[in-house]
Structure 1
């Protein structure tokens, strides 16, 4: 008999469980988003912990009192039903146990005597394979509730907007009675009949003392106002992302928090509505918990249903130009390499980087600015200069470690424009980078999924106090949601920048005045302190604003998914207001805990003119942070001592210094390009007097390259000139303050003399051309260019 049973079991295996409706749960277990199953039914999987004792009691007492005792078929019930049906005494019944009903729901067939025998055999087979708890769970997942609604969880969510374990006793009994008459007892249509049937069973349960008398009385008095509601549709972009990533899994556990998610969606939708007149139709938002790196709000677009604005595009993962949002990370890396400190002065003058001529956003230059000011006001020219010193490969390699996929792919082709948005990045990647700054420089992937809660079923009958026996381990239960654990790339944290560099960068990013703060200081006491950075891509196609404090990092992108720009689209004016609305809503009145300076950071005095270690002529000094052992220890030389004749018209070197009749004087010693900028702008720029004409100076090549440079034309560049328009080539150079006159040569032939700051134009010959420049101190540099004609 045993061998026969095993053979029949293998020959006629159990039918597969019908496909469930995928649902995405929030961190608290509530349903964020639900989808129809492949057969267009709402069949949401009821987890074990959602089957409350009240639901168990109501279902079992009503449907199958001896459920925990029989082996799938109740012989006494069969004999009783046969007698009633044969002698037509009492109500006609079918003697179906809960297990037999599960068999029928798994294989729906016409109700005939033969099919009834088949149900009994299937019921015995089910009992051999599953525990009572699992069979009850299957039943509650498959029972019909009219229309395309199946299962207790689907009915609870669509009619009561609550999961089964949050229902009252009256609501629980309501769901227990409907499966017997799913077409006659339709919630929202036949509520009066449903209330009468519900109360009848409540009174019966009261007579059996199944529930406390007060609970029964409260349930009898509870009105029924249930109507069908739409399925939950929060976080549609993340929900589709997870369903695609984990196909076939009925329950997906996300890290999102329901309240922040709903608030973020509402704020984003309402904010973008105000931007439509400006030609801006979309926005995306990401809110991350810094301590856990869990994404708590995920808004892929302002309105998922907005077909005209391509609302189904996921703006969190769309690859866009990051604008200036990478600058904080660049300066943090530069501080770790000892290239800059917050008070270090950087040149902010028009500069040609081998053909790349960056401009600041406002088209102006300041001459020299501190590093912290360059970052605070997002100046482009200083950032490009720092990237040139750091090296593009070193920068992109760090971005690769931070999960920037497009940057890693395009790294061999990226150049200095990378820091101004000349690469591809997503809101998810950029927000993760700022989370690393908030976490003292340590990077780890963001999490959008979390492990499911332990699956348990308190399968007890309070009347008798006996548990439903288990036949399998909890790990093999049908409802074990295994897929919620491995959604994102896992791995150890990566240190991108030091805690000291992260702290200094954060301090700089808090210096700019928030645009949303009121004039009254007392009114802003409850607002969270935030470090924030904006970015605007070329053509004003993307506006970014990313901010963080001790608890949260919030990333905002605003623009159009079709790539169309808008004259009003800037990070400061368009993206930042939404950033602060989100922060003020999510973290209002939160403790403003802030980062403490790490032990690896120290103070030192620096020259106020350059930000370098004070030299011999640095009377004005201030305090600056620095990284001991890493920050540059170069001494300041912003002033240079010169030996002049008594009348100040001639400068002497040591070789031609007379014994008497000279004096010492300090002269500014800026970089040649800074000096040229000041002179071009009409700013005070003092040059040294010409050198003693009776002295013949001998300079090394290194000194020549440091004090004299040709800024136009570019070395090894190709120029195509239109002869019909009589186009000419520009000659310009950058020279030290001691240079008064330069001499230009073309193909080793003298062209003309000019002042050090004069712009010279000439018509070059076609082909390879050698351009040379010599100054009045005997230094010489040259470049090679190729000239073509059309």
Structure 2
């Protein structure tokens, strides 16, 4: 070929390419078919399927699902030269034309698989002109798609009667299995129906279909398409089949994912089919028993701690229960979290050195700038350790710790943990946040507890995963027999797509491993008050750490637990917001939590709680939980974080100089030369002392100070500060003058205080004992209340009084 001929050839090729490109512009390919949205489990099985926008069941068959047996059966039946022609088979056209013209043999249309795809993509009346158009389309399809992709399109579009299209839809709705799980007999059955979908109707004409199936099996045997033994087994397989409903597991998650990924035909979720089915059954049956208590709904979330993959997602007890709003997604519903945030609060306090497990906190009636919390049982303990305050879910110690830490610090950490409503409402949140005075979802809370299980590392939950790798190269045939898929774990990816060894991804450290360990150690104790009835000493008690919660008005019951492998969150209540007297986290939510752990992770080891190297032991005073002071005889061992935990020394007892008869006390300035003795006196916080006295408990006060002492002393020399506990500072009071309503005056004073003096608007009212309750009628308007004790301390508050 000379240079001129080469130029002519290149020009011809270029013109051909331009012609084909122009043909595509003028005659574009048909639009892609609309598939039924399908949500898959982690193992690739179908969890939930929906009708496509045209109300047809057309589930997309993936290349990996087209088994060699299915390929061979379809190709040998429909188009034996499929892999060799360019979309149109000229020899078949000539043969068909001869048969049709001379009426010899069976009349055929010579349509290739590619031509059938063209017709299925653009259904038209069967005319000679439309047949020519199919041929052009077939050639165009061959230029754009591989043979595997064309075969995939065909298997996704072939009719199976009614509104069922595609091999996968037929396999799922008739055999309840995906195509690559079918036997050879089932595969051949699906291969023969598309030619006569109105005659060969599965479930109605099974006998006719069976005969046709066996005829083709024998024909395939003559062709040597499959081993003889496989053919014989297929011939003896019965055909007892009927149409089934589409899979409907995990309806709430399925709807969520389909909404999140509109137009996506196949969505790969992280759910495990077995745990999901078990969780749905347990939840539905459990809630059915609660109906007589006025409790109609529950939600469950199961997380894999290592990957944060959601393995079970139950949005309600029954999606179809319209009377109980079953279609509401309880996993994402914003509810009051009750006491479920307390473990996280104490973990943050541990990391800031504010508390240690044995530190004692006041549990007495308290006033936090107008906020007066109460414990769930309305009782008070005086003083409790941090671990007991958490185990018994006491409100007042938790509010005290939050007050010391700061609400902003706490809510900022919750924002880092993905609490969206808390982040939105943060400027308006107060101390009631720790008692459930904020909004949270089951998904947020379960992810937070998973951080406790994972050494304090937070990671967002994962609902989807990338599809696993194909076992066959791009769906091309190989020599393997029809197979069943295993359950390969999808690769785990972080927020930025990074992957680490073993599928783990780095997390955000919310709390230290030491704090996570200490909280887990407390929550894993089985000697606790929130064991449901019947579980004390029961073998049904799983090896987990857990915390319960009950919202105000008994509208929400929570129980969230974890072990090394899983974190399980449970919410029980009513989507209407109606409360129930029986609704508590302990008695209502925890039994379902235990059932779930016993069903999903009964044999899970309980060995995740290993002591971090950052923790150490030290001796503390048994009376206060502080580093022992000079007068601490009873000591015990406590965990602490070296360099972080407070090293404040205990002063639960103070040494005082008193007269020989113990009637008066002396300061260093007025102590006599003789006739005195040294004596230890309790030195509790003023509010603890006042509580003990109000309850009639032993509360020894320091004797009154020597009245002959004329030295003016400051507060630092005489003990704890003075505080007015009633009325509330900066509050507004409405009083009915006709009913002669009065205000209560009370204070919290140190153990050395015997007498206090009350003033109203700088006018002396009266003297009273330190623990005496005084009532008076205040004037209207701005009122200043002052209190002074017999040691020279004083405190003022302002309030507003109005008449009704």
Aligned to 2:460: 445
Q: Which of 420, 423, 426 is the matching residue for 2:441?
A: 426
Q: Deviations over 1:581-633 (max 9, x none)?
A: 00000011222222211000000000000000000111100000000011000
Q: Which of 447, 453, 477 is residue 460 of structure 1 equivalent to?
A: 477
CA contact 1:732–1:760 (8 Å) conserved in 2:
yes
CA deviation after TM superposition for structure 1 residue 405, in Å: 0.4
Q: Residues 686-734 of structure 1: CA distance to partner in whole angstroms, max 9, x if unpaired?
A: 1111111001242335668942111111222222211122111110000
Contact 2:532-2:587 within 8 A present in 1 as well:
no
Hey, what's the Cα distance between the residues in 1 that align with 2:698 and 2:70?
A: 86
CA distance in structure 2 between the aligned counterparts of 1:648 and 1:592, rounded to whole angstroms: 57
Do the aligned residues in 1 keep the contact of 2:67 with 2:477 (CA within 8 Å)? no
> Which of the residues 724, 745, 748 maps onto 1:734?
748
Stretches of 4+ moved more than 6 A in 1?
484-491
Deviates more, 1:769-778 or 1:199-208: 769-778
Query: Which residue of 17, 20, 24 maps to 1:5?
Result: 20
In structure 1, the partner of 2:239 is 224
The answer as to whether partners of 2:494 and 2:506 remain within 8 angstroms in 1 is: no
**Structure 1 residues 272 and 723, CA, compared in 2 at 3 Å: closer, same or farther?**
same
RMSD: 1.8
**Pair 1:160-2:172 in alignment:** no
**1:384 to 1:84, Cα distance in 2 relative to 1, 3 A:** same
Say which SS state the counterpart of residue 571 (structure 2) adopts: strand
Q: What SS class does the counterpart of residue 592 from structure 1 fall into?
A: coil
Aligned to 1:676: 690
Please say if 1:542 is aligned against 2:556: yes
TM-score by length of 2: 0.94
Q: Distance in 2 between matches of 1:601 and 1:768?
A: 53
Do structure 1's residue 208 and structure 2's residue 223 form an aligned pair?
A: yes
2:658 corresponds in structure 1 to 644
Say yes or no: does 1:743 pair with 2:757: yes
Contact 2:714–2:792 at 8 Å: present in 1 too? no
Whole-angstrom distance in 2 between the partners of 1:86 and 1:732: 113
Instruction: Measure the CA separation in 2 of the matches of 1:685 and 1:32.
Output: 66
Which residue among 94, 115, 118 is the counterpart of 2:133? 118
8 Å CA contact 1:449, 1:487 repeated in 2: no
- The alignment status of 1:435 with 2:472, answered yes or no, reads no
Match of 1:752 among 735, 741, 766: 766
The residue number in structure 2 matching 1:403 is 418
Deviates more, 1:208-217 or 1:765-774: 765-774
Counterpart for residue 778 of structure 2: 764
How far does residue 519 in structure 1 lie from its aligned partner after superposition?
6.3
Which runs of structure 2 are paired with 1:346-495 in the superposition (5 Å)? 346-455=361-470, 456-460=473-477, 493-495=507-509
CA distance in 1, matches of 2:719, 2:703: 21
User: Matches of 1:87 and 1:250 in 2, distance apart?
Assistant: 47
The aligned counterpart of 1:555 is: 569
1:681 shift after superposition: 0.4
SS at structure 1 position matched to 2:215:
helix
Pick aligned residue for 2:726 from 712, 715, 740: 712
Q: Does the aligned pair in 1 maintain the 2:203–2:243 contact within 8 Å? A: yes
Matching residue of 1:108: 123
Deviates most, 58-67 or 779-788: 779-788
Provide the residue aligned with 1:470 in structure 2: none
Q: Deviations over 1:125-146 (max 9, x none)?
A: 0000000010000000000000
TM, length-normalised to structure 1 = 0.95
SS of the counterpart of 1:433? helix
CA shift digits 1:653-694 (9 cap, x unpaired) = 100000110011111100000000000001111111111100
What corresponds to 2:613 in structure 1?
Answer: 599
1:788 aligned to 2:802? yes
State the partner residue of 1:175.
Answer: 190
Runs of 5+ consecutive residues of structure 2 not aligned to the other structure: 1-14, 482-489, 499-504
Cα distance, 1:226 vs. partner?
1.1
1:74 partnered with 2:89: yes
Residues 740-772 of structure 1, C-alpha deviation per residue, up to 9 Å, x if partnerless? 111111112111111111110000111111111
Q: Quick one: structure 1 residues 605 and 486, their matched pair in 2 at CA, closer, same or farther if it must change by over 3 Å?
A: closer
Tell me the residue number matched to 1:471: none
Distance 2:148 2:494 in 1: 28
Q: Distance in 1 between matches of 2:320 and 2:210?
A: 37
Q: Does the aligned pair in 1 maintain the 2:564–2:607 contact within 8 Å?
A: yes
Note closer, same or farther for the CA distance 1:134–1:347 as it changes in structure 2 (3 Å cut). Answer: same
Judge which range, 714-723 or 50-59, deviates more: 714-723
Counterpart Cα distance in 2 of 1:230 and 1:176: 22
Provide the rounded CA distance (Å) in 2 between the counterparts of 1:252 and 1:312: 21
The reply to whether residue 696 of structure 1 matches residue 710 of structure 2 is: yes
Count of residue correspondences: 769
Counterparts of 1:740 and 1:512, CA distance in 2: 45
Matched with 1:195 is 210
SS at match of 1:436: helix
- Counterpart contact for 1:704–1:780, Cα < 8 Å: no
Separation in 2, partners of 1:435, 1:574? 22
Distance in 2, matches of 1:590 and 1:494, equals 26
Verify: 1:613 aligned to 2:627, yes or no: yes
Report the counterpart of residue 38 of structure 2 in structure 1.
23
1:433·1:443 contact (CA, 8 Å) conserved in 2?
yes
Whole-angstrom CA distance in 2 between matches of 1:461 and 1:286: 41
Partner Cα distance (2:494, 2:116) in 1: 36
Map residues 265-414 of structure 1 onto 2, 5 A cutoff: 265-414=280-429
Secondary structure of the equivalent of 2:322?
Answer: coil
What are the ranges of 5 or more consecutive residues in structure 1 without an aligned counterpart? 466-481
CA shift, 1:181, in A, is 0.5
Contact (CA 8 Å) 1:338, 1:632: kept in 2 or not?
yes
> What SS does the corresponding residue of 2:705 show, helix, strand or coil?
coil
User: Is the 2:565–2:604 contact (alpha carbons within 8 Å) kept by the matching residues of 1?
Assistant: no
